[in-house]
């Protein structure tokens, strides 16, 4: 049976064996905060001119907050996170607050090199600037980066960050940009995963995650 590698939520369930074929659905998020982290370096000449450059790759940081949870709800999501923190194992988190179900999935219709900031789609109907998406490529399972739309011109979108992997439209299969429920490959980066339990037996819990490509 397939091991559940997506954080349990109202669309993704997990059972006691850790697979996704049955079991309990996870709790929904009360809020999700996304931070784009792009380290840069700036130097100034004696005349005051500024020279700026990117000195590190871009990544997203995710801050998930939950409403107060019952013990049953808490015990679905907390062990999942603890196991992956201990094993340093990456997993996916779906981001329903950033979904665009009207745009759903678009086919990519032209090849693009790694580092490109433009993608050509079969259409851009219902896509909006600032939409988040990920790419599925039947020829490249390692293309797990999450992107944002910054411009739309006809059937071409400008994206940030630049493409992490090459897209080769001449190969078999169809590459797709998925807007319906964006997802992100993440790890638990910190040393601590904290929670508190109140007098009513309800859990207060939040977790910070960091995008990873490996």
Backbone angles phi, psi at 94, to 5 degrees: -90, 145
pLDDT tens, 18-36? 999 899 999 999 999 999 9
pLDDT score of 94: 97
Banded model confidence at residue 1, pLDDT cuts 50, 70, 90: low
Domain ranges within the chain, ordered by starting residue? 13-95+185-211, 100-180
pLDDT at 47: 78
Report pTM: 0.90
Q: What is the pLDDT of residues 103-120, one digit of tens each?
A: 999 999 999 999 999 999
Report residue 111 as tokens. 């090849």
CA quadruple 58, 131, 134, 120: dihedral, nearest 10: -100
194-212 pLDDT tens trace: 999 999 999 999 999 999 9
pLDDT tens-digit readout, 4-20 = 999 999 999 999 999 99
Please state the φ and ψ torsions of residue 35, each to the nearest 5 degrees.
-120, 125
Question: Cα–Cα distance between 74 and 91 in angstroms, integer?
Answer: 18
Residue 61 has pLDDT above 80, yes or no: yes
The residues that bridge with 69 in the sheet, in sequence order, are 203
Per-residue tokens: 157? 């979108």
One fold for 13-95+185-211 and 100-180: no
CATH class of 100-180: mainly beta
The three-state secondary structure class of 196 is strand
The CATH classification number of 13-95+185-211 equals: 3.30.200.190
Beta bridge partner(s), residue 27: none
């Amino acid at each position: 049976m397939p091991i559940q590698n997506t954080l349990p939520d109202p669309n993704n369930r997990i059972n006691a064996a850790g697979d996704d074929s049955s079991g309990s659905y996870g709790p929904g998020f009360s809020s999700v905060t996304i931070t784009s982290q792009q380290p840069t370096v700036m130097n100034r000449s004696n005349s005051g001119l500024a020279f700026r450059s990117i000195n590190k790759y871009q990544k997203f940081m995710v801050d998930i907050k939950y409403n107060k949870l019952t013990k049953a709800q808490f015990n679905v999501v907390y062990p999942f996170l603890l196991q992956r923190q201990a094993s340093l194992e990456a997993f996916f988190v779906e981001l329903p607050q950033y979904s665009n179900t009207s745009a759903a999935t678009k086919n990519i219709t032209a090849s693009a090199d790694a580092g490109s900031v433009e993608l050509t789609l079969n259409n851009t109907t219902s896509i909006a600037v600032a939409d988040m998406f990920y790419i599925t490529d039947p020829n490249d399972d390692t293309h797990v980066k999450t992107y944002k739309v910054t411009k739309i011109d006809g059937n071409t979108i400008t994206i940030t960050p630049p493409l992490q992997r090459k897209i080769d439209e001449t190969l078999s299969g169809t590459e797709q940009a998925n807007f319906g429920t964006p997802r992100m490959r993440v790890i638990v980066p910190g040393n601590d995963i904290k929670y508190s339990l109140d007098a009513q037996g309800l859990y207060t819990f939040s977790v910070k995650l960091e995008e990873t490509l490996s």
